[in-house]
Amino acid sequence: MHDHGTLTPTVMTVQRIVEETPDVKTFRLAPVDVADGSWRHAFDSGQFGLFSVFGQGEAPFGLASSPTQVGYIECSIKRQGKVTDAFHALAEGDQVGYRGPYGRGFPYDELVRKNVVFVGGGIGLAPLRSLIWNCLDNRADFGDLIVVYGARSTGDLVYKRELDQWLARSDMQTVLTVDPGGQDEAWRGNVGFVPAVLEEVAPTVENTLVVTCGPPIMIKFVVQSLLKLGFAPEQIITSLEMKMKCGIGKCGRCNIGHLYVCKDGPVFSYAELKDLPDEY
Amino acid sequence: MANKMLRLADVPALVEAMLAEAIVVGPSLSEQLSDEAPAALYNEIHAPHDLWLDSGRPAKSLKEFFFPPREVLFTYRLSETGVEVTEPELETRPRIVFGARPCDAAALPVMDQVFGWGEQDNTYFYRREHTTIVTVACDAPENTCFCTSLGGSPTGTAGADVLLTRLGDVYHVSVLSDKGAQLVAAYPDYFREASPALDLAQEDTARALEEQIVRKIDPAPIRDIAFDDPLWQELTQQCVDCGVCTFLCPTCHCFDIQDEGNEAEGQRVRLWDSCAFRDFTRMTVAQPRPEHYRRYRQRIMHKFQYYPTNFDAALCVGCGRCVASCPAGVDITEIISRLGASLAAREGE
């Protein structure tokens, strides 16, 4: 007989749902048959999975929890279409499908013993959150850790409790910002676009890697700012989003030139990206 | 492996014997089309007289027998205890494809690369492993065929376990793989010893048949063509994005995954899809290929540049179905020639 179907997901229980913003929720999931907190899922930060609501369909989302987390995985989903609407309608205790991890994650081993700058925008913080906690859980292995994170408005900042934890830590620097007009009276952070704030922070170039995730337009300007600050294309790492169905290099729709975002990515260095056809 | 001989007169009895033990698939007259010009399709056959070995090129390729146009991946049902997921049973009887055209067999190793890299596609390879492929050489290639430009020929052996070449009232039987040897050994009454003279006659016939393929392309220059070459925008303005070329293509393998059903029960299915369709790459927030030319460029570049970069072969076997069936007259061989000529002209400047 054949083995388990390649595209058949594992059934997972939604253990917890956190409403991050009006349109983003974080889902904590564990396999139905390993609900006792002992589940270990081997993956790299930056990898993704295909998440599904049975009857509504499947969609790819980055893994938002750290690989060091035992017992469950998390993904954060912004409501913007059929599958994401279905996720937002779920209640704790419901069951969903998951298959993964897929793709090439962040180059964790290359980050070790370096300064790491995390630059995120909006829901783009999700895969970075996985990596940030992974680095914090092995804090001694890294140089300076700097987080620059922004959203359209204070209400659109995700993981607010963790942002407070990071702000309170002395072993990392956390800089938060919201787009002009997005601040409220209680806001004590920066007001300005992420690339401009990043230029003010001006991280050291030497022995540093920058990992950035966010809306494509933000990434474009973040890259320009980084090049202006003196970073080389090899020092800039980002993650791409493309339409995907299989997640394993077969369904044929996420390629950029001969590379498949699902298989060769989603993580690419800017050095790799600038040689690819402009079709993403 | 020693070659064999099969008498044409013995084919019905051989097929009858195979039907007793296996599912047999071969070219047969399409019932849907029977009041029009006769056209063959690969179908499961139930009696020897269903088989139509000198049908010419069947209207569709063989790919649906390994990669079905609609495949149920699993059914789901919500019960009191949760979601129950059940995968369909796969056919356990062995399957013999009898009388495939060499181009359709050659397409299978090409698809194997995609379904096999990274995480292997289990159901696809289950069907591949349970199927033995017997091809029959093309006696009368069509004017749209261009297999010889892609490494094939009317007697090509890629992807086949056994090749039959008709020589008068017998078939020369080339045994090409272990699976082929097992098949031939299982039916010793029909697969008889072949003389060395028959091998020589087969070689002569192979050469003669190869000369009948008159349509030629040179896909090599496409390996170097630029993504932003201005020619892309003018090439295929008459294409209507219907996707027929991709569905008939024996190597096009792109698919969609959809859920059918409601929250209580249903199934997840894999469906053939096409890069010609606007929805193919459309996301809620972005669409990397909004214009037609970008989608057609993807098709040509995938076949003659991206796939070759990854696997060192073309994603095309030159079967010619896309040329013969395009409702708008798009001819991939002409496209390749125009791209090649344009490149050569610019290099000469």
For residue A257, give how far its alpha carbon lies from the nearest alpha carbon of chain B (Å). Answer: 6
For residue A85, give how far its alpha carbon lies from the nearest alpha carbon of chain B (Å). Answer: 12
Contact between B275 and A253 using a beta-carbon 8 Å cutoff: yes
Instruction: Flag whether the ipTM exceeds 0.85.
Output: yes
Distance CA(B64)–CA(B85), nearest Å, equals 25
The secondary structure of residue B51, as a DSSP letter, is B
Q: Is the pLDDT of residue B37 over 80?
A: no
A-chain residues near B72 (CB < 8 A): none
Contact between A250 and B280 using a beta-carbon 8 Å cutoff: no
Q: Choose the mutation target among B122, B294, B296, B315 for the interface with A, i.e. most A CBs under 10 Å.
A: B122
Q: Report the chain A residue with the minimal C-alpha distance to residue B309.
A: A258
A-chain residues near B256 (CB < 8 A): 245, 251
Instruction: Tell which B residues from 85 to 114 touch A, by Cβ distance under 8 Å.
Output: 85, 87, 90, 114
- Angle between helical axes of B122-129 and B102-116 (0-180°, round to 10): 140
pLDDT at residue A2, rounded to an integer? 43
Distance CA(B184)–CA(B4), nearest Å, equals 8
Q: What number of CA atoms fall less than 13 Å from residue A7's CA on the CB side?
A: 32
For residue B54, give how far its alpha carbon lies from the nearest alpha carbon of chain A (Å). Answer: 34
pLDDT at residue B38, rounded to an integer? 66
A-chain residues near B306 (CB < 8 A): 255, 257-258
pLDDT at residue A279, rounded to an integer? 75
Distance CA(B141)–CA(B149), nearest Å, equals 14
Q: Between B76, B85, B117, which is nearest A249 by CB?
A: B117
pLDDT at residue A13, rounded to an integer? 97
Contact between B253 and A245 using a beta-carbon 8 Å cutoff: no
Which amino acid, residue A185?
E
Smallest CA-to-CA distance from B232 within B291, B274, B281 is with: B291
Contact between B119 and A248 using a beta-carbon 8 Å cutoff: yes
Q: Is the pLDDT of residue B348 over 80?
A: no
B-chain residues near A1 (CB < 8 A): 90
B-chain residues near A241 (CB < 8 A): 283, 286
pLDDT at residue A120, rounded to an integer? 97
- Number of Cβ within a 10 Å radius of residue B114: 22
Question: In the numeric block, which tokens belong to residue B48?
Answer: 């020897």
Question: In the numeric block, which tokens belong to residue A91?
Answer: 């209640």
B-chain residues near A5 (CB < 8 A): 73-74, 87, 122-123
Q: Is the pLDDT of residue B187 over 80?
A: yes
Contact between A57 and B284 using a beta-carbon 8 Å cutoff: no
pLDDT in tens, chain A (280 residues): 345 789 999 999 999 999 999 999 999 999 999 988 999 999 999 999 999 999 999 999 999 999 999 999 999 999 998 999 999 999 999 999 999 999 999 999 999 999 999 999 999 999 999 999 999 999 999 999 999 999 999 999 999 999 999 999 999 999 999 999 999 999 999 999 999 999 999 999 999 999 999 998 999 999 999 999 999 999 999 999 888 999 999 999 999 999 999 999 999 999 999 888 877 7
pLDDT at residue A1, rounded to an integer? 37
For residue A262, give how far its alpha carbon lies from the nearest alpha carbon of chain B (Å). Answer: 11
Question: In the numeric block, which tokens belong to residue B272?
Answer: 């053939």
Distance CA(B162)–CA(B132), nearest Å, equals 8
Q: Report the chain B residue with the minimal C-alpha distance to residue A276.
A: B227
Q: Between A1, A55, A252, which is nearest B275 by CB?
A: A252
The secondary structure of residue A172, as a DSSP letter, is S
pLDDT at residue B36, rounded to an integer? 60
For residues B127-152, give the mean pLDDT.
Answer: 96
A-chain residues near B263 (CB < 8 A): 53-56
Contact between A250 and B114 using a beta-carbon 8 Å cutoff: yes
Q: Choose the mutation target among A1, A3, A4, A7 for the interface with B, i.e. most B CBs under 10 Å.
A: A7
Instruction: Tell which B residues from 307 to 326 touch A, by Cβ distance under 8 Å.
Output: 307, 309-310
pLDDT at residue B32, rounded to an integer? 57
Q: Is the pLDDT of residue B242 over 80?
A: yes
The position carrying tokens 């050659």 is: B106
A-chain residues near B298 (CB < 8 A): 255
DSSP bridge pairs for B174: B163
- The 10s digit of each residue's pLDDT in B258-317 is 999 988 999 999 999 999 888 888 887 788 888 888 999 999 999 999 999 999 999 999
Distance CA(B98)–CA(A258), nearest Å, equals 35
For residue A278, give how far its alpha carbon lies from the nearest alpha carbon of chain B (Å). Answer: 9
Distance CA(B166)–CA(B162), nearest Å, equals 13
Q: Report the chain B residue with the minimal C-alpha distance to residue A102.
A: B119
Contact between A243 and B78 using a beta-carbon 8 Å cutoff: no
pLDDT at residue B234, rounded to an integer? 85
Predicted TM-score (pTM) above 0.80 = yes
Instruction: Report helix, strand or coil for B1.
Output: coil
pLDDT at residue A277, rounded to an integer? 85
Contact A170, A151 (CB under 8 A): no
Q: Report the chain A residue with the minimal C-alpha distance to residue B255.
A: A251
Instruction: Report helix, strand or coil for B213.
Output: coil
pLDDT at residue B231, rounded to an integer? 86
Distance CA(B246)–CA(A21), nearest Å, equals 43
Enumerate helices (H) and strands (E) in chain A, giving the number of each.
7, 15
- The 10s digit of each residue's pLDDT in B66-106 is 999 999 999 999 988 899 999 999 999 999 999 999 999 99
Distance CA(B44)–CA(A274), nearest Å, equals 50
Question: In the numeric block, which tokens belong to residue B103?
Answer: 């181009």
Backbone angles phi, psi at B55, to 5 degrees: -80, -15
Instruction: Report helix, strand or coil for B12.
Output: helix
Q: Between A5, A11, A263, which is nearest B123 by CB?
A: A5
- Is the CB of residue B117 less than 8 Å away from at least one CB of chain A? yes
pLDDT at residue B230, rounded to an integer? 84
